[in-house]
Chain A
Amino acid sequence: MNREKVIYAFFIVLALTLNFGFFVGELHNPYHHNIYELFAALVVSLITTVLKFGDRTHIGALMMATSLVADLQLVTASLIWGYATHIGGGVDQMVVASIVSFSGGALMANIVSVILLVVETVMVRR
């Protein structure tokens, strides 16, 4: 058993599920999307990226790339949310829709990460 890989699997799946939890629901309905879940998804996604730091294998570098994509989208989503609540005119349906669609993009990146993880696991015949 490779402990490093198991820890990574835990975090990437956690990031995927949190992201999914935030994403499901009506796209523009603020009541269907919990801000704490977005926060948790962002934190876990950052940890996943750091976990892949310094991995010299090709597939490891790919995983870091995909999780960086997820980070970017989630950070953008949070920025939009922060701007809307404190500087812009409050969280209306349009803002929620864009936040959620960004998290949808992050969700796709997370799914790719998980697929890569599955591929890597299948390749190792132990």
Chain B
Amino acid sequence: MNTTQPPRFSIRTFGLLLLPVILLGGVIALFLRTGGGLDLESPVPIETLTIERTILKEDLIEIRVQNTSMQEITLAQAIVNSAVWPIEVTPSATIPRLGRAVVRINYPWSYGEAYAVTLFTSNAVAFNLEIPVAFETPQPNSASFWSFALIGLYVGVIPVFLGIFWFPALRTLGRRWIVFLMAVTAGLLIFLGLDTIVEAFEQAANVPGSFQGIGIIGIGAIATFLALEAISKRQLESGGDEAAKRLSVAFRIAIGIGIHNLGEGLAIGAAYNIGEISFGTFLVIGFIIQNITEGLGIIAPVLRDRPSLRSLALMGIVGGAPAILGAWIGGFAPSPTLAVLFLAIGTGAIFQVVFEIAKLIQKDTAKESMPAIIFSGALAGMALLWVTGLLIK
């Protein structure tokens, strides 16, 4: 047996590769024809319908649905608050698997009241939908775009920039303080990362079964982590000075926080859409206090360097502006599947950056070990978010 030379790829190898696939096809065909001896006929088809979005207009309830069952389903009737109401389904009341439809119910709903809608399929399977507070759904127009942008500005961009404004003061600090601040950043990010992944799991519950929300979290988080890791390795190999590397870490922190803020924006937009947002100015203040720490985290790695104003501004935009984008998506085209993907990417990005910061700290503490500073820093970072969280929960 020749161990040094791998066998050449031949037609025969190809055939051998194909053989199990061909056999698999045969087994499936056999199973489909005979049922494999199992009686798999369900007495009632199992139907699932995902309600993607509800839009309220004057005298109209519009429900966007997706058929996430294994077979086509037909919508037959609707009941709104214990009354049968005529429905109009477009393009067709019969929805193919994974097909979408819009259900329109001409219903004289009243502002601020709650409604329960039940959609019945022709197999009398009921799907329930709650409208906790009825009000006109904002339509995409210049005014609503602007107002969602303003929300994003308040929750994302402004706090992040306020944090970055600490830069001139903090850069006068000594090495030990910089290490402390990096540990604080790591603590902050771990807290944010946990928050993001928990949010991802919560959102995954709203994802249609066939789209496997949990799977999306795994793919999104791990892929992002490994991709950023690869980018960072490549930078390391391509050389460059330490300052450039630290700037790159800062940018990646900005990206991670940015995606986290995108998730925040998605939640704002979606919450607004279902009327869960009410008044409360002091909470904006709480928000700014909490998110200001995000800006601090972004600049921590580059405190000893002289990053250009342009870089600082760009980091602020990258870290904060996605909140605006998130608010738009959440407000105008909410999709739990998309939200889970974004949150998973955010999780991967944040934990990769934590890993990166840990390496930077290691480098900084190579000559002088500072366990107490790292411990107190990381704890302070997490405690900071926990305490500011108390203000706004």
Asked if A and B are interacting partners, one says no
Name B residues whose Cβ lies closer than 8 Å to a Cβ of A.
none
